[in-house]
Amino acid sequence: MTKQAWFAAAMSLVLVFAARGAGAVDVQQEETVSGGTATAAQDTSNAGKEEAADTTEVDIFKPSWESKMTGNDSELKLSSTARVQLEPGGGWIFTNRTNVQKRIFRLLDTYELTEELSASASKFEPDLYLFSFRIGENYTRKTLLGLARYGKDLVIDTESATFSFVLTRPVLGARSSQISINGDARRGLNDFKYDRTLSGGTGAFLRYGISDSLRVSGGAGTSRRRQASEIGSVIAFDGMPSRTDTLRAFVEYGVSKKKPFHLAYNWSDGIDRKVTPPRGNALEILDDPEAAREEEEHKIGQSIDMTSFFQPLSFVSVDLAFEHNNNEQKNRVDTRLNKKTEGTEITAKVLYEYAERGRMSFTIENAKSDVDLGPLSLGSYEEKDKKFGMGIAHRITDSLGVTLRGSVSLNQRFLKKREQNPRDLDVLYYAGSANMTAVPFSGVNTSVNFTFNRRETINIDRTLSADNRIDYLYQFVPVLRLKPAYWVTVNQNYTLKFESTEFVFDENNNTLDRTIGVETLAQFTIRWFITFAFRHEYQKRDTGSYRRRDGERRYGRTAENIDNDLDLRLTYRPNPEFAIRGGAKFQTQESSRLAKQGTQTVVVSSNTFESGEFRVGLDRKRNIGAGGVFDLKIDYVRRYGPNVTAERREYWIIDASLKFAF
Amino acid sequence: MCQAGCIFDPREAEDPAGEDDTCWIPPNAPTDVFSNLDCGLGSAGNSSYERSLDPDFVFIPRPGYDGPGNFEEWDFTQEMDFVTKLKGDYQGERSIRFGDAEGRFERWDVATSDATYWGEYRITLDSGTGTDPDIFAGKAEFHIVRGTKGWVIKKWEDYDVVDSFPTSANIRGSYQQ
C-alpha cells in the first residue's frame, strides 16, 4: 500500500472515532444512497434533501460493509466493500471506501485482482458553491497467459488526488450559472509505463432567460495536462503537454417540451501527447522498449444541431432536424489514424391525425458525408443517403387495430481513388410491414404480422459486380394468446419465413432458406405458490436455391434441419423470500444433406444431435438484525451433449451477498 | 421498382469482368462460419463475410487493450465498414486462420442452437506492394449461433495475445471511422 492509501485508511479511522465522539445527533437529514464513491452530483442531491427532510433522528456516522460472490460457468467473482460516511452537518460529507475484487475466468485461465481505496470530502452550500476533494488508489492486476510468457502481468496501479470547486451562485446577471475549477495529480504504473500527470481545468456555463419563451445559454472550458512517462529505468519522456478547449452555445425558443426552435453549437480543439507503442501494440515495447514514441494526436471538431417543431393545425405536426458536423484527427507518429470527416443530415417528419382513431406519418431523410483517410489510404470516400418512410396506425374498434409501415432508402458510396480501389457501392433497400391485433373474445388475444424486405447490393465496378445480389425476406407470424382461466395462460406463435439471396449475374450462387416454426408457451399456477411453465419450439428449415436448368428455374434443396426444443420449469415460492426452482431443457436437431438423383431429391447423409440441461435452484433472502441482509440465489446445472467443455458440463451459478449497515 | 430519374434510382453496374470469386458454403455446421469468414476476407466481394455475421454481431478487444479505436459499440456495421476499408488498402492476399497451425481450438462447446470456440486466430494481410505481409494474431472466444439462414458469428472477443503480434483490435481500431 502506498502512503496515500495508508492515509486514506487512517482518515477512515479518524472519521470513525470522530463520529463515535459525536454520537447520534438530531439533524435534518435523510438516509443517503449507499454504494459507490461520493460524487459531486450525489453530494448535491443529499444536501438538497436536507432542506426538505423531516426531523427524524439519524446517525451522522454511517458505516456499511458488503461482501458478494457471483459465479457461473465462465467466471467466479468475489468482492468486499467497506464504506464509512460521516455527515457532521453544515453541508459536509466525508466518505471513505475500500473495495477488493477478484475475478477468476474459468474458461480462459485468466485472473483479475482489483483494489480501490479512496477518501473524499465534500461541502455543499446551496445556491453558493460545491467543493469536493478526493484521494485514492486503484490497483488492478490481470494475468493473461500470453503476457505471462514475458514474465509480466498487466498491472495498473495509480494513486491520485483530485479537487473541484463549482460556484453555483448566478453571476453576470444570468438566470443560472456554473463556474468551475478542478485539478488532478496522479502517478502510477499503466501497463508498460510509469506515468506522472498533473492536470487542471476551468470552465463556465451561463444561462440567460431573455423572456419566458426565449433562452440563451453558453459556456467555455479549457484544460491542460502535463505528463512524464518512464519505460523501465532508461527510457523517459518528460513534460509532454496536452490541452483541450471547448465551447458550447444554445438558443431555445418555446415553452412546450418540443420547442419550435432549438439550436446547439459545439466546438472542441485538443492536442493529446502521450507515449504509445508502434501500432498501439504494447507487446512490442516489452520486446524493445526503445520502440516507444511520443505520439501527438490533434483533434478538432465542431457540430451544429437545429431542430424545429410546429403544429400548423391541431391534427398536423411537423418535426424538422438539421445536423452538420466536421471532425479532423491528425497523428504525428501513426499517420494511418489521420482522418477528416464532414457530415450533413436533414430530417423532416410529418404526423397527420386523419381521424380520432387513426394517424399517418411521413419521414424524409437526406444525408451526405465525406470521409478523408489521408493521402496514404485508398479508402477515402463520399457517401449519400436518402430515405423515405411512411406509416399508418388505425384502431378500427377498441379491440381491433391495424398498423402499416413502408420505407425505401438508397445509400451510395463514391470512392475518391476509384482507379486504385474500385469499391463504389449502391445499396437500395425496401421494407414493408403490416400488423393487425385483435381481441375477438375475452381472454383471447390475436395478432398477425407480415414483413417484407428487399435489399439490393450493387457494386458498380466490373471487378466486383459479380458479387451483386438481392436479399429478400418474407415473414408471416400469426400469434394466439389464450387465458381461459385465471390459473392458465397459453401462447402460440407460428412463423413462416422465406429468405433468399439472388445473385444478379450468377444464379449458381443463389440460396433460399425456408423456415416453418411453431412455438407453444404455457404457464400454470397450480397453487398460489407453485407455478409450472412449459415451452416447446418446433422449427423446420430447408436450404436450397432456385437455379436455371434447361431454361427453367427450378427449386432444389441441399439441406434440411428439424429442431425440437422443450423447456420445463417448476417453481415453489411459499413466500417472497424463499423459493425452490427446478427445470429441464431438451434439444434435438436432425440435420440432413440432400442431393438430386435423377428427378428425385434424396438424403445423402443425416445425423441427429441432442443436447440439454437440468437445473435446480434455491432463492433465499433474510434480514439479519436491523441493518443486515443476506441474499442468496444458487443453481446447480448439469448439461449434456456431444461437445460440452468440462467446465460447462456441471457447474454452479451463485449470486450471494451479505450486507451490513451499522 | 423505381423509374429512371427518381431519387431512389441506383447507378447501373458494369458487367462482371471475370468469374465470381464467391467461395460461400451453406453454413450448416458452426465451423462452416470460419471457412466463410476466411474466404470472405480473401475475396474481392463482401457477400461471404457479410452473410457470416449475425445482425447483432459484437467485437470486444482483449483485457487491458490500450491501442487505437473505441470498441464500446463495435457492431455489424462497423465490422463491415472495417472489412471494406481493409480490402481497399490490402489488395494482395488476405486470410484469417482460425485455430492453431493445425486448425485446432483450445476448447469448444457446441449445442443445437449455439456454439463457442476458444483458441487462436491469425490474420495475414498483404498490401500487394512487395512489402512483408502484416500479421495480427491473438486468442479469442468465438460465439456462433444458428439463425434461420444457418450458422453465423455473433461475438468475437479477444482474451489473450500470441507472441508479440498485435491483436485484431489493433487493425480494427486503425480503420475505425
Chain A from 215 to 244: CB within 8 A of any B CB: none
Place of cell 467473482: A77
Question: What pLDDT is recorded for position A2?
Answer: 44
Q: Where are the domains of chain B?
A: 30-174
pLDDT in tens, A395-452: 999 999 999 999 999 999 999 999 889 999 999 999 999 999 999 988 999 999 999 9
Task: Determine the residue among B1, B6, B14, B125 to mutate to test chain A binding: the one whose Cβ has the most chain A Cβ atoms within 10 Å.
Answer: B14
Query: CA A477, CA A310: separation in Å to the nearest integer?
Result: 38
Is pLDDT above 50 for A9? no
Q: In angstroms, what CA-CA distances link A297 with A242, A292, A329, A336, A590?
A: 9, 15, 7, 12, 56
Do residue B174 and residue A334 have CB atoms under 8 angstroms apart?
A: yes
Q: If we measure between CA atoms, which residue out of A122, A159, A139, A123 comes closest to residue A7?
A: A159
Do residue A281 and residue B170 have CB atoms under 8 angstroms apart?
A: yes
Is pLDDT above 60 for A8? no
Percent of chain A with pLDDT over 70: 90
Asked whether the beta carbons of A202 and A244 are under 8 A apart, the reply is no
Q: Is the pTM of this model over 0.95?
A: no
Question: What pLDDT is recorded for position A658?
Answer: 96
Determine the average pLDDT of the residues in B141-155: 95
Confidence band of A47 (pLDDT split at 50, 70, 90)? very low
Cell of A4: 496515500
Query: CA B144, CA B54: separation in Å to the nearest integer?
Result: 9
Place of cell 400469434: A479
**Weakest-pLDDT range from A139-148, A301-310, A602-611:** A139-148
Question: What pLDDT is recorded for position B64?
Answer: 81
Please give, rounded to a whole number of angstroms, the shortest distance from the CA of B98 to a CA of chain A.
Answer: 17
Question: Residue A486: what are its φ and ψ, rounded to 5°?
Answer: -60, -20
Q: Is A48 helix (H, G, I), strand (E, B) or coil?
A: helix
pLDDT in tens, A10-22: 444 444 344 333 3
Question: What pLDDT is recorded for position A530?
Answer: 96
**Weakest-pLDDT range from A17-31, A569-583, B109-123:** A17-31
Task: Look up residue B68 and give its amino acid.
Answer: P
Is pLDDT above 60 for A57? no
pLDDT in tens, B7-17: 889 999 999 98
Determine the average pLDDT of the residues in A555-577: 93
Question: What pLDDT is recorded for position A369?
Answer: 97
Do residue A505 and residue B89 have CB atoms under 8 angstroms apart?
A: no
pLDDT in tens, B16-42: 987 666 788 889 889 999 999 999 999
**Weakest-pLDDT range from A390-394, B48-52, B173-177:** B173-177
Do residue B67 and residue A279 have CB atoms under 8 angstroms apart?
A: yes
Between A427 and A6, name the one with better pLDDT: A427
Question: What pLDDT is recorded for position A170?
Answer: 93
Per CB-CB distance under 8 Å, the chain A contacts of B84 are 379, 423
Q: Where are the domains of chain A?
A: 170-334
Pairing of strands B150-160, B53-60: parallel
Question: What pLDDT is recorded for position B41?
Answer: 95
pLDDT in tens, A449-501: 999 999 999 999 999 999 999 999 999 999 999 999 999 999 999 999 999 99
Mean pLDDT computed over every residue of chain B: 90
Q: Dihedral of the CA atoms A24, A25, A31, A35 (nearest 10)?
A: -50
Question: What pLDDT is recorded for position A56?
Answer: 53
**Facing residue for B45 by CB, picked from A156, A412, A466:** A466
Question: What pLDDT is recorded for position B65?
Answer: 86
Give the CATH class of B30-174. alpha beta
Do residue A280 and residue B67 have CB atoms under 8 angstroms apart?
A: yes
Determine the average pLDDT of the residues in A339-364: 96
Between A450 and B112, name the one with better pLDDT: A450
Query: CA A174, CA A171: separation in Å to the nearest integer?
Result: 6
The number of helix segments (H) and strand segments (E) in chain A equals 5, 28
Q: If we measure between CA atoms, which residue out of A471, A467, A469, A435 comes closest to residue A453?
A: A471
Question: What pLDDT is recorded for position A163?
Answer: 96
Task: Determine the residue among B54, B80, B148, B151 to mutate to test chain A binding: the one whose Cβ has the most chain A Cβ atoms within 10 Å.
Answer: B148
Confidence band of A37 (pLDDT split at 50, 70, 90)? very low
Per CB-CB distance under 8 Å, the chain A contacts of B44 are 463-464, 467
Determine the average pLDDT of the residues in A199-220: 94
**Weakest-pLDDT range from A272-281, A437-446, B56-65:** A272-281
pLDDT in tens, A225-261: 999 999 887 788 988 999 999 999 999 999 888 899 9
Chain B from 76 to 115: CB within 8 A of any A CB: 84-85, 87-89, 91, 107-113, 115
Q: Is A465 helix (H, G, I), strand (E, B) or coil?
A: helix
Q: Highest mean pLDDT range out of A6-10, A95-99, A344-348?
A: A344-348
Mean pLDDT computed over every residue of chain A: 88
Asked whether the beta carbons of A429 and A409 are under 8 A apart, the reply is yes
Query: CA B74, CA A90: separation in Å to the nearest integer?
Result: 47
Query: CA A169, CA A181: separation in Å to the nearest integer?
Result: 14
Determine the average pLDDT of the residues in B78-98: 93
Is pLDDT above 70 for A264? yes
Is pLDDT above 90 for A148? no
Question: What pLDDT is recorded for position A147?
Answer: 65
Is pLDDT above 60 for A565? yes
Query: CA A270, CA A221: separation in Å to the nearest integer?
Result: 12
Determine the average pLDDT of the residues in A52-79: 81
